[in-house]
Amino acid sequence: MPENGLLYDIGHGQKLYLSCMGTGSPTVVLDAPTGMSSDAWALVQPILAKTTKVCVYDRAGLGFSDRPPPNVTDAEPGDENFSQQLAANKWQPFTVERMADDLHCLITYSSSQEKPLILVGAELGAVVSRFYTQIYESDVSDLVLVDPLVEKLMIEEETTANLWAKYWYAIQLIVFMLKQFPQNVSVTVLNGNYYDDQLPSPLNQAWAKSQQLLLTKMHPNSKHILINGADHHMVYRKPEVIAEQIRKVVKSRRLSKAS
């Protein structure tokens, strides 16, 4: 385990890995792409750490983090009835709801990160970050989505969804209809202008269509940045460019706070 990383008990017998570097405010939390550990941010984190505090973590079952236990509770760590509610089974083990809940426990109760913070999510990490922001809107000032997975990609077109199931592990994705996305949170979307040459053309086309849906219907007020020469692997192939765009969000938030 890296020397600046620790395992934090988030309750119900489960530990998640968190590693923070740098100092300053606002804190940036990086959520990794689909099926990847926090190592995906190994080149981005140290660049950003020169500007502010930046943390990476492993979702349950990835990297150094424990797999989720079969039962969880809807009580918070430290509550008097916490241990008695272990069998409540609030979420299934690998849903976006459960991932967002885990992250909330990790950065709120277990490691007590300063808020509001900037959430940065890539692919599946972007879905988790968006859902987290809707549920815990006071925790987040800015959201940066890096080549984000859009949940409707998996549920609207049966043929495309079946194709994706062959190339990606199955995961239960929810429809974001619980509440309106908070208007006070800025959203920045980073996309590359290259298709992924490891994927069939129909999947690349479906992904591009989902990005347009995200930008025009789901987050019409977002700032869209197209990164030249980047594709799905931009987190580790274009770390300097990714870090620079996040740094701009950090500086903008600082200026906003100072004014």
The model's pLDDT over 131-158, given as tens digits with 9 standing for 90+, comes to: 999 999 999 999 999 999 987 776 555 5
Split into its structural domains, the chain has a count of 1
Residue 258 within any structural domain of the chain: no
Contact 235, 242 (CB under 8 A): yes
**Omega before 220 within 30 of 0, i.e. cis:** no
The model's pLDDT over 75-114, given as tens digits with 9 standing for 90+, comes to: 555 555 444 344 334 446 678 888 999 999 999 999 999 9
Residue 72 within any structural domain of the chain: yes
Q: What is the pLDDT of residue 39?
A: 97
Residue 153 within any structural domain of the chain: yes
Residue 238 within any structural domain of the chain: yes
Q: Which amino acid is at 5?
A: G
Task: Read off the pTM.
Answer: 0.86
Enclosing domain of residue 112: 5-253
Residue 163 within any structural domain of the chain: yes
Q: What is the pLDDT of residue 82?
A: 45
Residue 259 within any structural domain of the chain: no
Between 236 and 175, whose confidence is greater?
236
Average pLDDT, the chain: 86
CATH of the domain at 54: 3.40.50.1820
Residue with tokens 């969804």: 161
Q: Which amino acid is at 46?
A: P
